Structure 1
Amino acid sequence: MYLLLLGLGLALLKYLQIEPVAAWDWWWVLSPFGAAVLWWWWADHFGYTKRQASVKMDERRRRRLDEGRRRLGLPPLDRR
């Protein structure tokens, strides 16, 4: 996401002819978009995206179970 924002900012500065970005070649200005594509490819190819989604789901499940235990008057499970 940060690479996309950087790319959009640089493209806007280049389009509006604001220095020093106006003097740069377009391939320098558009390179954050290429880096974003490479990042997304790497994250999907090596499982980073799925791992992050799994961690998020596990945390939601843990909170849901702890909330249920709290409503029953039980202490939350000790996770080590």
Structure 2
Amino acid sequence: MAFLLLGLALLALKFAEIGPVAQWSWWVVLAPFGLAVAWWAYADSTGLTQRRAIAKMDKRKAERRQRDMEALGLGIQRDKRTRRAPAASAASTRPATPRPAAAPSPAPAPPSRFEDEPVATRRDPEL
């Protein structure tokens, strides 16, 4: 883009015959346009243009997500504070003694004889 702007400025100065540019060769005045074409060809062939476009879209997506989260009241800053606050308060009030071992879990209930049947086909043995 800089080459294009430079070329336009030199072209305007050449046509208006302002300053030393009026005496320059047309090749010198038009050279920035050739450099702009060469730069665009290089940028497109190496994928630079595409990487910049993807980075710009990712940035816009992150900003949109942040804005939407804030609008919902689920802001990242608020979320970080709420996660840190209980941990910090628990750490400051917790005694230095080790935790007791966890209680063993109760044994699972025996399987029902009706577990394999769908609900609609179960029959009450009492009837």
TM-score when scaled to structure 2?
A: 0.56
**d(CA) in 2 for partners of 1:16, 1:66:** 50
Which stretches in structure 1 are left out of the alignment for 5+ residues?
Answer: none
Q: In proportion to residue count, which structure has more helix?
A: 1
Matched, 1:71 2:71: yes
Partner residue in 1 for 2:10: 10
C-alpha offsets along residues 32-52 of structure 1, whole Å, 9 cap, x if unaligned? 000100111011111111111
**d(CA) in 1 for partners of 2:5, 2:75:** 44
SS of the counterpart of 1:20?
helix
Q: CA deviation at 1:17?
A: 2.0
Q: Return structure 1 stretches of 4+ with deviation > 3 angstroms.
A: none
Over the aligned positions, Cα root-mean-square deviation in angstroms equals 1.7
> 1:1-80 alignment to 2 at 5 Å?
1-76=1-76
SS of the counterpart of 1:56?
helix
**d(CA) in 2 for partners of 1:13, 1:27:** 14
Which structure has the larger Rg over C-alpha atoms? 2
**d(CA) in 2 for partners of 1:9, 1:72:** 49
Count of residues in Structure 1 that have an aligned counterpart in Structure 2? 78
